[in-house]
């Protein structure tokens, strides 16, 4: 590609740091002024306020940019057109006319909200239709929809496990799984990331009668893929259960986008509990769990997020249902997605950036230190590119990064502009 040598002529008026997102809160007031004994008098609060106030004053705080329209490869922010490199819209389905039409029809028929929780008065026909479609998609007996993927993970662990059981996590599992373990007060052991041999050793030493292994199909920070067949072999050898979080894998992995089991050609039943998101490749909101029918029925009566959280709104439910049909009928989106991910990742590597072990649309750009990540995001902003800086506690300080996401909606010129911007801000000096 010619991206590394491209230059982009920009209006000097565009070369401005991100606007203050805090209404001048830190302009005349320092984080040091947090009163002793206040709600913010904790080490975590003081550390965050210090970082945010310094970032805001230095113009390197690029989080929470308010988009002025739909997400996509190009977005409007602060009155300027920006190239967006960190959207979860992997298949480019945000703005899909058919999906939007179904969402509008759902609002007209069911209203904007459900008026209740799922267990009582919040369940609509649409919820059951979506759950049946998900079960068919994942080749399971039944599926249950929750109002967010975070709640789905919390529900699975907290409803099924307790202090006498054991959860064994890949060390890079999502925070929502960890919070579910805390809520359940279940003992937790970790194994080295994507290391089936270490998992085998952990299970051999610590497994209990009811032990569940939890992994992700695609890991959200590193973009690498779980070696699912090896994980299945290990859990079978020890008689453990297995849960797979496919928040970033649904619609992406597999010939038809069915996820990890299709990618590796293993029966869906080898996994006891599938979790997925409706806000990544599927352009809606919510999450789901899928598995045996009796297991799903129990979760609909024994998990707090299902019983005590408002039902997923009709528009999101209808959008997710239609998106599953689009994933089936438009397979070329996955072809474009994989091509774009390869081009973006390869171009960054050629420029000297560290993309870790990425093998998916998630492409990290790993730098050494929090401020290095924040400054890189700011420098790219000045080049007209939005890329999310990921810092502790999401990743270790020494592995701070930008997390880029390729999408099927990107065209060659978008990737060329992205690589030109990275070339302009410099590669090897960042790593």
Per-residue pLDDT tens digits for 77-128: 988 899 999 999 999 999 999 999 999 999 999 999 999 999 999 999 999 9
In a domain, 22, yes or no: no
Whether pLDDT at 343 is above 70 = yes
The tally of domains found in the chain comes to 2
Whether residue 358 sits in one domain with residue 268: no
Whether residue 402 is contained in a domain is answered as: yes
Does a structural domain hold residue 90? Answer: no
pLDDT at residue 98, rounded to an integer: 98
3-state secondary structure the chain: CCHHHCCCCCCHHHCCCCCCCCCCCCCCCCHHHCCCCCCCCCHHHHHHHHHHHHHHHHCCCCCCCCECCCCCCEEEECCEEEEECCCCCCCCCCCCHHHHHHHHHHHHHHCCCCCCEHHHHHCCHHHHHHHHHHHHHHCCCEEEEECCHHHHHHHHHHHHCCCCCEEEEECCCCHHHHHHHHHHCCCEEEECCCCHHHHHHHHHHHCCCCEEEEEECECCCCCCECCHHHHHHHHHHHCCEEEEECCCCCCCCCCCCCCHHHHHCCCHHHCCEEEEECCCCCCCCCEEEEECHHHHHHHHHHCHHHHHCECCCHHHHHHHHHHHHHHHHCCHHHHHHHHHHHHHHHHHHHCCCECCCCCCCEEEEECCCHHHHHHHHHHHHHCCEECEEECCCCCCHHHCEEEEECCCCCCHHHHHHHHHHHHHHCCHHHC
Let me know whether 341 and 321 are in one domain: no
Say yes or no: 321 and 339 in one domain: no
| pLDDT recorded at residue 431 | 47
- 324 and 336 in a single domain? The answer is no
Domain-embedded: residue 359: yes
Q: In which band, very low, low, confident or very high, does the pLDDT at 200 lie, cut at 50, 70 and 90?
A: very high
Q: Are residues 324 and 338 in the same domain?
A: no
Mean pLDDT along residues 149-157? 97
Looking at 312, 329, 346, the residue that finishes a domain is 329
Q: Which domain holds residue 363?
A: 52-84+332-430
Do 345 and 411 have their domain in common? yes
Same domain, 316 and 353: no
Q: pLDDT value at position 388?
A: 94
**Is residue 185 assigned to a domain?**
yes
Domain edge (last residue) among 310, 329, 348? 329
State mean pLDDT over 299-308.
96
Same domain, 325 and 346: no
- Domain match, 140 and 230 both: yes
- Shared domain check, 353 and 212: no
Residues 123 and 66 in one domain: no
pLDDT digits (tens, 9 = 90+) for 385-399: 999 999 999 899 999
> Do 65 and 183 have their domain in common?
no
Residue 140 in domain: yes
């Amino acid at each position: 590609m010619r991206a590394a040598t491209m230059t982009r002529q920009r209006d000097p008026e565009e070369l401005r740091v991100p606007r203050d997102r805090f209404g001048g809160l830190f302009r005349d007031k320092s984080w040091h002024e947090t009163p002793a004994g206040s709600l913010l008098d904790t080490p975590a609060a003081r550390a965050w306020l210090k970082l945010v106030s310094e970032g805001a004053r230095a113009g390197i705080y690029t989080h929470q940019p308010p988009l002025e329209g739909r997400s996509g490869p190009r977005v409007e922010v602060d009155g300027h057109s920006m190239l967006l490199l960190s959207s979860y819209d992997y298949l480019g389905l945000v703005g899909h006319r058919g999906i939007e039409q179904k969402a509008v029809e759902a609002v007209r028929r069911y209203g904007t909200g459900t008026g209740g929780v799922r267990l009582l008065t919040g369940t609509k026909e649409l919820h059951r239709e979506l759950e049946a479609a998900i079960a068919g998609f994942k080749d399971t007996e039944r599926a249950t929809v929750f109002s967010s993927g975070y709640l789905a993970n919390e529900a699975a662990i907290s409803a099924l496990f307790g202090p006498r059981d054991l959860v064994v996590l890949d060390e890079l599992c999502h925070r929502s799984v960890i919070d579910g373990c805390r809520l359940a007060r279940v003992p937790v052991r970790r194994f080295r990331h994507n290391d089936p041999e270490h998992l085998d050793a952990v299970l051999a030493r610590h497994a209990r009668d009811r032990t569940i292994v939890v992994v992700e199909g695609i890991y959200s920070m590193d973009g690498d893929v779980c070696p699912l067949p090896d994980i299945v072999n290990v859990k079978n050898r020890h008689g453990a259960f297995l849960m797979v979080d496919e928040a970033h894998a649904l619609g992406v992995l597999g010939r038809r986008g069915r996820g990890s089991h299709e990618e590796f050609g293993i029966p869906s039943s080898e996994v006891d509990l599938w979790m997925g998101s409706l806000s990544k490749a599927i352009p809606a909101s919510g999450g789901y769990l899928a598995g045996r029918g009796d297991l799903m029925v129990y979760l609909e009566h024994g998990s707090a997020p299902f019983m005590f959280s408002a039902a997923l709104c009709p528009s999101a439910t209808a959008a997710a249902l239609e998106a599953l049909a689009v994933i089936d009928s438009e397979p070329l989106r996955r072809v474009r997605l994989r091509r774009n991910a390869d081009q973006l990742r390869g171009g960054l590597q050629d420029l000297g950036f560290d993309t870790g072990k990425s093998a998916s649309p998630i492409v990290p750009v790993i730098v050494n230190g929090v401020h290095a990540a924040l400054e890189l995001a700011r420098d790219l902003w000045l080049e007209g590119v939005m890329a999310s800086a990921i810092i502790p506690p999401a990743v270790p300080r020494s592995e701070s990064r930008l997390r880029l996401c390729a999408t099927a909606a990107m065209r060659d010129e978008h990737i060329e502009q992205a690589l030109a911007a990275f070339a302009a801000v410099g590669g090897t000096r960042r790593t």
